[in-house]
Structure 1
């Protein structure tokens, strides 16, 4: 069989501010691959089906720190990389077989060769007993859902009747946290960047939902707080407002800081001394850290079933074609997306 095109989405240069399509990143259709004769060297040939667009991709476009012990920055000329689901076409790994669905970190290419799947907990063979759409496994049943589940289980310590404040509540992480908080009997305040997203947050259980672009966060928290749990995906001025209107002993779950990802100047939080005065508990974590080993199997045993039964709802923002990856990233970073941004690379 003749070689086929192996399109890829390539990183070209370190951006200042927002990435620019066809400059910072670009689609390259010049590569080809011989699917049935390419050497595997003990690895696995995977056809990529779905890829996830997440804010952390922008972090990986920062220039590497020469003094850092470890750099996760993308390399110029290489494909960008993120979470995805693919199907095994050929394998020399005895743990796998043709037709297996596999989840993990992928180069943004149509076909990839993995050297050692399964490995290190990031890679996983998906059973999909619930027959969920594969796109769910890069969203509510994948990394974003895991982030929400791990952090909430470990650090929230919710008590019935408490008040939680969730930022980016219409995104895949925030929306999942809203539903976890409501299931725990909390009053939930949630923010997002459009009136349409406000309506969605209310539909999944938020008691108080507001558009932070038209209503000041501090005004809402002053009226509806004090808050006992703060789930932060934003940082900056929102973090400052949460400190100001936090109850004594409140738990802050620091998941992200999207307000700083494209900023040339970082907002200076002015009330950090109140962390001490209010005895706040600040917990930073990431999905690939220590919590993954503790909660991963519990997550896969619990959450896909809840999704299938409609107990956890989700929304997707779907783009078709690997060439749309740059647009998807820009939409996520500017808030144009409504729901989890996924790229459908191939249907089967």
Structure 2
């Protein structure tokens, strides 16, 4: 489980602000903002730049009541794209700061501590800078390792992707045995989790993916019908296998439009992401919006942290045993080395990763 603690951002300092003494440490920083619509790919070496010129005295850097963490694993997620924007552009999350390290969910090991809740050797989880060593300035969680579960699992089915799938599904699906669910992006870390939740609830599941290998993955995690949307007509599949009672949307765009047109009355549309639109300069014109009123649809967009107070306890009770027993499958796509994290970010934005993308920064 994860135990929440808050590290006062007024007293914890980023190591990049300390004097340049000691051994070199490396980081990934933002050097170019996305355009007005931030709808182009973050380019390694240009948008994100690997910086190997920083130094840190690990033994003596002031902690000011905080902790010094050695970064082990970093999670790469689609939401990071929206943070690479001009701060004047309104969005649901705060932007990264130009010239400063980017950050994301990660797991590290405490090396030094001036905080009563932590001791050297503790594993921690939370928003961590893409740096080899960090003094966290945000909420950080202590990780209690469970038997049979490896460390990367805490960034995969037990991390944000698992919680996103679980919270959203439990809150909005109103799943009933025998109903039909469609999951786009079914081979992604969230989509594959949703497929399995829907099957546990006794539903017939349709899933789409962008390669034949990913279609195979959808079937292996339980999808009754899986297809390559690049080679097979989505509307024809949904016409044959629908109508849809639940649509879990990871991609937006034409797939969302087609799904709207294939719904049953009182269907639930759960909007988790719109990855197809992040690089679409013109956006997609939706033609089937009439179905919202014509079929009395229920459309829900959500952010996982809004649902956490209601569903987190149930998540930790139900999901870890399913993962440990192998009843809930997961796949990690590991990139080794912080120097390759820019490429890892690009892979996720292009959708060419296969499983939950994680950067292995260091062994323990």
TM-score by length of 2: 0.90
Gaps of 5+ in 2: 1-20
Question: What SS class does the counterpart of residue 206 from structure 2 fall into?
Answer: strand
Q: Give the CA deviation at 1:140.
A: 1.2
Match in the other structure for 1:342? 358
Match in the other structure for 1:218? 235
* 1:10 corresponds to 2:26: no
Match in the other structure for 2:136? 114
| Deviation sequence 1:181-226 (CA, Å, 0-9, x none) | 0011000000111000101110110000001111121111111100
Question: Do 1:6 and 1:111's aligned partners in 2 also have CA atoms closer than 8 Å?
Answer: yes
Q: Give the CA deviation at 1:340.
A: 0.7
Q: Name the CA distance, whole Å, in 2 between partners of 1:252 and 1:281.
A: 6
Q: Name the CA distance, whole Å, in 2 between partners of 1:5 and 1:314.
A: 36
Question: What SS class does the counterpart of residue 311 from structure 1 fall into?
Answer: coil
Question: What SS class does the counterpart of residue 53 from structure 2 fall into?
Answer: coil
Question: What SS class does the counterpart of residue 99 from structure 1 fall into?
Answer: coil
Match in the other structure for 1:170? 187
Question: Do 2:127 and 2:136's aligned partners in 1 also have CA atoms closer than 8 Å?
Answer: no
Match in the other structure for 1:190? 207
Question: Do 2:73 and 2:108's aligned partners in 1 also have CA atoms closer than 8 Å?
Answer: yes
Question: Do 1:13 and 1:24's aligned partners in 2 also have CA atoms closer than 8 Å?
Answer: yes
Question: What SS class does the counterpart of residue 93 from structure 1 fall into?
Answer: coil
Q: Give the CA deviation at 1:42.
A: 0.7
* 1:21 corresponds to 2:40: no
* 1:99 corresponds to 2:116: no
Q: Name the CA distance, whole Å, in 2 between partners of 1:315 and 1:215.
A: 25
Which of 146, 159, 169 in structure 2 is aligned with 1:142? 159
Match in the other structure for 2:247? 230
Question: What SS class does the counterpart of residue 29 from structure 1 fall into?
Answer: strand
Question: Do 2:82 and 2:91's aligned partners in 1 also have CA atoms closer than 8 Å?
Answer: no
Q: Name the CA distance, whole Å, in 1 between partners of 2:92 and 2:254.
A: 30
* 1:77 corresponds to 2:65: no
Q: Name the CA distance, whole Å, in 2 between partners of 1:199 and 1:333.
A: 21
* 1:35 corresponds to 2:80: no
Q: Give the CA deviation at 1:63.
A: 2.4
| Deviation sequence 1:91-134 (CA, Å, 0-9, x none) | 11111111111111111111110246xx4xxx321111224221
Gaps of 5+ in 1: none
Question: Do 1:234 and 1:259's aligned partners in 2 also have CA atoms closer than 8 Å?
Answer: yes
Match in the other structure for 2:198? 181
Match in the other structure for 2:17? none
Which of 64, 78, 86 in structure 1 is aligned with 2:87? 64
Q: Give the CA deviation at 1:300.
A: 2.1
Count of aligned positions:
340
Q: Give the CA deviation at 1:70.
A: 7.3
Question: Do 1:44 and 1:115's aligned partners in 2 also have CA atoms closer than 8 Å?
Answer: no
